[in-house]
Amino acid sequence: MDAIASQIDKSYFESIYAIPRGGLVLGVYLSHRLGLPMVEKPTKRCIICDDIADTGKTVEPYKNYFIVTLYYHKQSTVEPDIWIYEKTDAWIKFPWEVK
């Protein structure tokens, strides 16, 4: 997740919105790392966080914001501004997921 944080100019942004539930871990991490508050709804200069942009359905409502994800799948209707890994068709199970 440092790979994402190191690419963000925190002086431009004022807050972080994490899409529940997948974006919460990344959102909390970036909030601490960048010193930006987390908000309950996006603000004007807000970073939107999610775990995966797979189909794009979850991040689509936020396409006019700065979006960061851990994974990006080429089939997604929205490409995040920053992503770390390219997702294949294999299912991803994150360490914080129970099932």
Tens of pLDDT, residues 60-91? 999 999 999 999 999 999 999 999 998 877 77
Return the CATH number of the domain spanning residue range 2-86: 3.40.50.2020
Q: What is the pLDDT of residue 87?
A: 81
Q: 8 φ, ψ to 5°?
A: -100, 130
5's tokens = 């944080």
Q: What is the pLDDT of residue 71?
A: 93
Q: Where are the domains of the chain?
A: 2-86
Tens of pLDDT, residues 12-49? 999 999 999 899 999 999 999 999 999 999 999 999 99
Q: What is the pLDDT of residue 4?
A: 92
The pTM of the full predicted model, rounded to 2 decimals, is: 0.90
Q: What is the pLDDT of residue 99?
A: 67
**Dihedral sign (CA 11, 14, 19, 21):** positive
